[in-house]
């Protein structure tokens, strides 16, 4: 294994801009993957049981129209393969807002696709209570309507995005917001 390969392995192969060659010269290489792709691959995924326990212990509830947790059923509310940071973000939201939170959408099929999607563990939907809506609109920065559906969007200092859809808050957790 040459020095460049060792350095790439030590960095997880995500960023490699310069490395020393075996002869002492400098070799330049493009990153193996974009930062967004690399960080998306490095997230910690949780099982349904682990996520449910963490949320329950924080006092966060959830509901589903089908009274189920099957990830492959759009009528269920699933947490299977949710990102740890997403669960931590929901807990941070609960603690900061002091509002009762009810999750109405998780990682189940039936949501829009994309890198930062429900399916990939980055998003949760919340029941839009007066308490939660007042907290989001009064605390975070309005950033304009979302392209595609026009949902009003608010950005937290953490970078997380809160979009007010017709019957819920669609929240994109880039981080735990801790």
Name the phi and psi angles at 91, rounded to 5. -65, -40
pLDDT digits (tens, 9 = 90+) for 5-34: 333 333 333 333 333 334 344 333 333 333
Q: Which two tokens stand for residue 163?
A: 């979009």
Please give the pLDDT value at position 42. 81
Please give the pLDDT value at position 103. 98
CA 104/CA 91 separation, integer angstroms: 15
pTM score? 0.77
pLDDT digits (tens, 9 = 90+) for 60-99: 999 999 999 999 999 999 999 999 999 999 999 999 999 9
Mean pLDDT score of the chain: 83
**Domain-by-domain residue ranges, the chain?**
3-40, 44-172
């Amino acid at each position: 294994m040459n020095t460049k390969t060792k350095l790439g392995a030590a960095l997880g192969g995500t960023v490699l801009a310069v490395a020393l060659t075996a002869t002492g010269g400098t070799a330049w290489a493009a990153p193996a993957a974009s930062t967004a792709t690399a960080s998306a691959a490095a997230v910690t995924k949780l099982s349904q049981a682990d996520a449910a326990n963490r949320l329950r212990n924080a006092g966060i509830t959830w509901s589903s129209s089908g009274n189920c947790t099957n990830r492959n059923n759009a009528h269920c509310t699933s947490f299977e393969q949710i990102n740890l940071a997403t669960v931590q973000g929901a807990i941070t939201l609960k603690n900061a807002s002091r509002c009762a939170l009810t999750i109405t959408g998780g990682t189940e099929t039936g949501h829009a696709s994309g890198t930062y999607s429900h399916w990939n563990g980055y998003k949760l939907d919340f029941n839009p209570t007066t308490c939660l809506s007042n907290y989001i609109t009064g605390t975070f920065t309005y950033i304009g309507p979302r392209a595609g559906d026009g949902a009003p969007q608010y950005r937290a200092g953490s970078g997380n995005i809160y979009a007010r859809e017709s019957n819920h808050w669609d929240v994109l957790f880039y981080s735990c917001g801790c």
